[in-house]
């Protein structure tokens, strides 16, 4: 499931992955929240933490993530991913140059820096 991080400005969508992330989590929680931010602000800033409370993604969740990310390719203003998971960091690092938005990868110990970065510039 997604835990919503509420200590950031409204313009920033901040979530933490907890337990197993399923397609339902994307379809019923994350996607509607992104759509709401798009309607309200035109672009989305997202902080996505995959920390110690995370277990795994279902295959359909990974598919939904990729499909949704591509569908909104130009709608991301800034993306901060916070995780210590090696395979995930490696995958993100490999493809980050394709991102049309500002993007930064942080270790979990740097969550506060990630929050500052995602809120930086003009909000």
pLDDT in tens, 94-121: 877 777 778 899 999 999 999 999 998 7
User: Does domain 2-112 bear CATH number 3.30.750.24?
Assistant: yes
DSSP type of residue 96: G
pLDDT band at 50 (very low <50, low <70, confident <90, very high): very high
**Global pTM value:** 0.88
- Could you tell me if 9 and 37 are in contact, meaning their C-beta atoms sit under 8 angstroms apart? no
Q: CB burial class (10 A; 0-12, 13-18, 19+) of residue 33?
A: middle
Please report the DSSP string for 8-44 in residue order: S-TTEEEEEE-EEE-HHHIIIIIHHHHHHHHHHHSSE
């Amino acid at each position: 499931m997604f835990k919503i991080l509420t200590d950031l400005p409204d313009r920033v969508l901040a979530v933490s992955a907890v337990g197993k992330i399923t397609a339902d989590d994307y379809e019923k929680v994350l996607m509607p929240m992104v759509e709401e931010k798009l309607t309200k602000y035109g672009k989305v800033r997202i902080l996505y933490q995959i920390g110690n409370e995370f277990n795994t993604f279902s295959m359909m969740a990974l598919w939904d993530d990729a499909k949704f990310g591509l569908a909104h390719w130009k709608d991301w203003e800034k993306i901060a991913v916070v995780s210590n998971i090696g395979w995930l960091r490696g995958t993100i690092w490999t493809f980050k140059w394709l991102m049309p938005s500002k993007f930064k990868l942080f270790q979990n110990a740097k969550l506060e820096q990630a929050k500052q970065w995602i809120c930086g510039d003009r909000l």
